Structure 1
Amino acid sequence: MQGKGADYGNQSINQSINILIINLKKSTQRRQFMQKQFDELQKCFPDFHLNYQFFTGVNGNEEANHPLFKKYNSKKRLARKGQDMSLSQLGCFASHYLLLEKCVQLNEPVIILEDDAILLDGFYDVLKYAPTVANYFEFFRLSNRSGGNNVKSAPLFQIPNTNLIISQVYKGWANTTGYFVTPRAAKKFLTQMKEWIYNVDITMDRYWENKVHFCALLPNVVRPQDEFLSQIQMNKTKRSISVKLKREIFAAYDRVNKCLFDLLH
């Protein structure tokens, strides 16, 4: 993490944004990993107040009867994906859901990170830019896209004095390692999440449903730590011919709706 950052004129150098970090109670190593990164960042920028806190995430494997899991529609999930969500996937969904609620309660933008996020050069610039009046975005990803960032995109705004560009993207990110979100966008996500069918990252990717402008920061300023084994277990079942056919029908329906939304917006 380099000791430099963009200049925002009269904006206060001490201005900060709430950073909420999802961390399972048992994941002490990950908590220490994140703490160390923020300690190092603070040393680089001693005059900048880092406002971050850890949020105890929902461990689906240990909280199988969590009340939020009632939102999960297993029947629709099986029809569209051919397999159930695992308890750990439900726990991940619930954790992000609760922090989106927290964003609405605070009534201010926040940055949400998972506890395997590696902070890259440019993260500090985002922290300075995010709370300023220059930031008119309601949501944008901070992490890299699963499968690579080589996707169709349209540049919208370059953060001053940096190489960081917020772009509109047209392909799913499949990643919730880190993102900036406003109360307005959080409310849209929560409305969409009254019923859970897809994993939380895929749900948030479905911008033609939630009407949240699908933006991402390129290059990314956080990425997941590969050395940590994923705590999200996935159910793997063999799909029948009928299940595969239903899945393809729903996928085609999604492509049509997405295409129509892109044409109209």
Structure 2
Amino acid sequence: MPTVTVGTAHVHYDLHEAPGATGPALLLVHGTGSGGAVINWGRTAPRFTGERTVITPDLSGADRTTDDGAPLSVGVLAAQVVAVIEDAGGRPVDLLGFSMGAPVAATVAALRPDLVNRLVLVAGWAHTDGDEYLRNLFTLWQRLGRHDPAGFGRSVTMTGFSRGFLNAIGREQVEALIPNMPPTPGTLRHVAVDLAVDVRALLPRITAPTLVIGATRDATVPVENSRELAAAIGGSAYAEIDAGHVLFFEKEDEFVKTVTDFLPV
């Protein structure tokens, strides 16, 4: 299991190599939660590995990466993504960030354009403090995480998936989803990052061809945030999938097609 050291962090990443692949690797940046890449990409990453190498890092706060436990920021996590790209060969990658991973990926693309071939931002946002919905939701997660762990799990499940999806899979599978994002110290470190996101000044600096994907029924990061991201990145393309926040679970085939159509091998 490759690991790269960035400050006090020993950042674990998985390298899913595709024999004979000649195009850019695809690096997937996970969202909030100490489950990291395994929870976000364990099911979906294999859909991309047939013709391209896929890199899935676990950023600080994720269980498989260790550090000193200090507070995190978008900039700290972006530096870890840069280190993984360089450690995995240093060639430009196609970079995809989901949720918290979207402002992290946008920061990498803005500050290190030499390392990003194409950029995909999924269910992301640019500024928390300017959106009272986001600020209050993440503040609620902090408080539930500290005082009501069971309530935290139900809250993130309820907002992470659309009502139609939850009703379609039924109670047994809904209950099975709830433990997937426990309010561990690592998860709460990520929530603190969510509360502090502000990448507005960086967005005009992005030069990589960019696709922003919004989720129409997103109750975690409402879709207006994705539309605003697309508007702030010059020349970006925009797509919308009729799903909740974790759209690659709800509409996996549509998600994979949308991404692969934008990232030809």
| TM-score (structure 2 length as normaliser) | 0.31
Q: Which has the higher contact order (CA 8 A, sep 6+)?
A: 1
The TM-score, its normalising length taken from structure 1, stands at: 0.31
Which structure has the larger Rg?
A: 1
Identify, as 1 or 2, the structure richer in helix: 2
